[in-house]
Structure 1
Amino acid sequence: MSTNPTPGDRPTHGADSEVGRLGTVMLHRPGVELKRLTPRNNDRLLFDGIPWVARAQDEHDAFAAALRDRGVEVLYLMDLLTETLAAEEVRHVAITTALAGLHIGDTMRRWLGPMLSDASPAELATHLTAGIRNDEVRGGFGLVTSLLPDYDFLIDPLPNLLFTRDSSVWIRDHVTITSLAMPARARETQLTELIYTRHPRFAGTPRLHGWDTEHVEGGDVLLLAPGVLAIGVGERTTPAGAEQLAREVFGAGLAHTVLAVPIAQERATMHLDTVCTMVDVDKIVMYPNVADSLTAYAVTRAGGPDADDDLNLHVADAEHFLVAAAKAMGIDTLHQIDTGLDPVTAEREQWDDGNNTLAIAPRVAVAYERNDETNDRLEDAGIEVVRIAGSELGSGRGGPRCMSCPIARAPLG
């Protein structure tokens, strides 16, 4: 369960890297929302298959246990959401937002509103995440409920809540509320924003961005080093989103360089962290089939880091990603560890989230056990690999990094 510390003993939140020792992480244990996936809706809800939910839960429990065994505090999104929904004004915002869909209609909206208002915080959290099907309502009868098939959802489930990295990112002591691009995921960040703005644990936390601004997804944001961010720009994060977040972090003094990294707009490379993730202060595991072509545009404040105007940005010419990253990080070389040993194996293991590792300390990373060759290469490079099962968890295209939002990491140095 999550905790509600008093202001005097509230833990320090924040992260300035991808590899500082992990102190606190937010996960979402697979729940009823995954049981709502069917062959009719899994594509629309961004899953490549129908997961075996009980096995996915077992795999996720083992993931959480592996983190706890390393001293990591694990918070669960549903616990935080339920506690947040105890406040009446928060419930009103959550219900109003959930019922804003134009497909519901006024008749059903007028009926669902009071029904959700009467639910307990735990029941409301379940309705908002697992959704409500047309055949589950017992009122509000009108054209909508009469003409929609029984199996259609009035409030869609949120199976991608599993991937907590996407809906928020901590940059130093600020939390970034992201804006998810796909309609199936839009409500996730609305709920995340409620948690960070209204849960007692996060009272007073400074925030960036927001769910209703330009599209930026957490899987595209890598904290390469203190003061250096890489932002993937592709299928999910837009150029405007990357530009806006750059302005915000410069204005708050959280970074001196943002690397905008173009990535292919396709399912296999939906986020930058499907291509590369940090496993040490100077080591990155990377998909070799795109490594040679991956470039970055270094973005800084025009006039330098102390300039008064954060609206004017300087965008450098594109360079090879590893070169631009090393320059920004102030190191000689950012060492690349390849996924797999040959192009075919690399493609298979990249698809199976071989690149999507979660560092829990420098040179210690959690990875799916099935990516044998990538894990062997990590160990050959001096990285301790904590292997976890992911045969069912991976059906939504996400690995250990996707499934975790670091809330507290120890500073580097």
Structure 2
Amino acid sequence: MKNSKPLSNRIKVTSEVGRLRRLLIHSPDRGLGKVVPSKAQDWLFEDIVHLDTMRRNEYDYYVKLLLYFLDPDKIKGKLSAIDNDNNRSFYKPGVEGYFNSDRVIDLQRLLCEVLEEEVVRTTLIASICGIERCSFQTQQELGTYDSDELAKIFISGSLPDKRMLFAPLPNLIFTRDIGIIINDHILLNKPAKSARTRESLLAQYIFFHHPLFAGYRDKIIEIPNNENHFLLPNDEKISDYNRTTLEGGDVMMVAPRHLLIGCSERTTLYAAQQVMKLLFERNVVDTITIIQIPKKRDYMHIDTVFTQVKKNMWVLLSSLARQGDESKKKDVLHFFAPKAMTEDMKIMQFFKGLEHKPIEIENLEDLLTDISQNDLGAKEQVKFIYSGNNEFPFGEREQWTDSCNLLALKDGVVIGYDRNDKTLEAFREAGFRVIKAADLLEKFEQGELSPDTISDTYIMLPSSELSRARGGSHCMSMPLLRDEL
């Protein structure tokens, strides 16, 4: 395998589809099993899930696939032994037998390692107890746990004896939202909802204190608050013109000098402007395109509406893709779209040094075509695969279960959910191999296929429980290193 040599602590992402070499994930933890219906909305989780099914029958396949593509020495020839271990030791940070890869990295492992430093440990315990309003007695009790257990407590909200100290962080499986790599810079995000405050705090401590990021301390970008933020009302539903919130699902590094930022239910225009100012000042990118999408739960981030499949191909929701008058004439479904949807969709492109002269782009397909052809140099015709194969009502139905939310492991090889039948049909029509995760892993084990040579493939991840969380494989990843295209 080509990628079995140890990596240096390199961090760099210049596209959405370059060969993935390193990423952050977080496996479903015991906190997910603590979500109750009465608090699910408050904790920003769409539904309650069956934790053991989510782990064993679904997310474990995600981990195995990632390791086979990114760190095959950890898994090749070992699948049978891994699958026959009822304790799942392979998947548990801090347990003997854990895969412990420096390419597929669980956030919990990094948190455990920074907690080994006494100053970090003390200040983080105090900080979390402060925001969670814990008693001094609880703060002292937390200090008695080792780093492995303390990391689990901070994430799950519960003690080993199953007592709950504070709310779990069920959304931490969506590591995309805590930050994003923009070339060789790290943008730390600001969650829109107070339920994710602890996630943001944990991310700050990890990125500023873990040795993996030691060479990038001066390249960490924190979004400044509005200088009068303390005067704003506490109501999270206030107009977003002065609120500074941004999540990673709304940021895409589509080309070395071009960044997309979505303004959505979770990311405000004010935050997008602040990021643009900082990135242009640091000369990190030359072009930033701001995509305003409807503030609806259906379209929480731009990566729920579209993601890139390969240099010249994208998967997207057609009702938000073609918004111009000429485009609508070609779109037989446009009359099903509510009027507000078309009014709320807007695309503005800004250039470094000419920020005062943005250009408006008529529709999403024009933007994505331009990125493929002019930013990435695609020679082939730019193609689009539509959610639900552009058939009513499957486009909207399957977008709800993340048909547009795919993670590219390399150019043309993506992981997505197995339940979106019409979208899978569209991939087959486009010439893609569509294969179950288990079947592909078996072919890797038998040497029939190789991650290095496989192409044009949609890998189906089991998703009966994962899809309840309203986030796909793109959401469940924070790429740290990709090959340049």
Whether TM exceeds 0.5 here: the answer is: yes
Q: Structure 1 residue 337 and structure 2 residue 380: aligned? A: no
Match of 2:156 among 118, 121, 130: 130
Q: 2:319 & 2:8 partners in 1: Cα distance?
A: 45
Q: Deviations over 1:158-209 (max 9, x none)?
A: 0111101111111111111111101111221211121111111221212112
**In 2: Cα distance, 1:380 partner to 1:280 partner:** 16
Structure 1 stretch displaced more, 54-63 or 201-210: 201-210
Alpha-carbon distance between aligned partners in 2 of 1:136 and 1:54, rounded to the nearest angstrom: 16
Aligned letter for 2:63?
A: A
Quote the Cα distance in structure 2 between the aligned partners of 1:79 and 1:41.
28
Q: In the TM superposition, what are the counterparts of 1:14-413 in structure 2 within 5 Å?
A: 14-58=12-56, 59-72=58-71, 73-101=103-131, 104=133, 108-132=134-158, 154-205=165-216, 206-210=219-223, 214-293=244-323, 294-303=345-354, 313-327=356-370, 330=374, 334-341=382-389, 342-382=391-431, 383-412=456-485
Pick closer, same or farther for the CA change 1:97–1:165 going to 2, 3 Å: same
Rounded Cα–Cα distance in structure 2 between residues aligned with 1:367 and 1:328? 23
Change (3 A) 1:379 1:175: farther
User: Could you tell me which amino acid in structure 2 is paired with residue 361 of structure 1?
Assistant: K
1:105-146 CA-partner distances (Å, limit 9, x unpaired): xxx43222222222211121122111148x977xxxxxxxxx
Q: Deviations over 1:229-266 (max 9, x none)?
A: 11110100000111111122222222111111011111
Task: For 1:300 and 1:96, locate their aligned partners in 2 and report how far apart those are by CA, in whole Å.
Answer: 43
Measured in 1, the distance between the counterparts of 2:17 and 2:358 equals 27
CA contact (8 A) 2:258 2:287 kept: yes
After alignment, is 325-334 or 211-220 more displaced?
325-334
Distance 2:209 2:45 in 1: 31
Q: Which amino acid aligns with 1:200?
A: P
Secondary structure in 2 aligned to 1:25?
A: strand
What's the TM-score, normalizing by structure 2? 0.73
Note if contact 1:232-1:260 (Cα within 8 Å) is conserved in structure 2. Answer: yes
Normalized against structure 1, the TM-score is what?
Answer: 0.86
Q: Which amino acid aligns with 1:339?
A: S
CA contact (8 A) 2:70 2:104 kept: no
Structure 1 runs (4+) greater than 6 angstroms displaced: none
Alpha-carbon distance between aligned partners in 1 of 2:183 and 2:412, rounded to the nearest angstrom? 21
Q: Extract unaligned runs of 5+ from structure 2.
A: 72-102, 227-243, 324-344, 432-455
Q: Distance in 2 between matches of 1:65 and 1:362?
A: 19
1:207–1:57 distance in 2 versus 1, CA, 3 Å:
same
Deviations 1:367-409 (A, max 9, x none): 1111122123124334310111111112210011111111110
Residues in 2 aligned to 1:295 and 1:111: alpha-carbon distance in whole angstroms: 52
Q: Using a 3 Å threshold, how does the CA distance of structure 1 residues 178 and 162 change in structure 2: closer, same or farther?
A: same
Alpha-carbon distance in structure 1 between the residues aligned to 2:70 and 2:248: 24
Taking the aligned partners of 2:151 and 2:54, their CA distance within structure 1 comes to 21
Shift in Å, 1:325 = 4.1
Q: Quick one: distance in 1 between partners of 2:224 and 2:24? A: 18
Distance 1:298 1:88 in 2: 46
Give the SS at the match of 1:47: coil
Q: SS state of the match for residue 215, structure 2?
A: coil
Question: Which residue in the other structure is 1:150 paired with?
Answer: none
- Describe the SS at the equivalent of 1:41: helix
Identity of aligned residues (%): 31
Cα distance per residue 1:12-48 (max 9 Å; x no partner) = 2111000000001111111111011011211111222
Residues 179 and 217, structure 1, Cα contact 8 Å, conserved in 2: yes
Tell me by how many angstroms 1:98 deviates.
1.2
Per-residue deviation, 1:301: 2.2
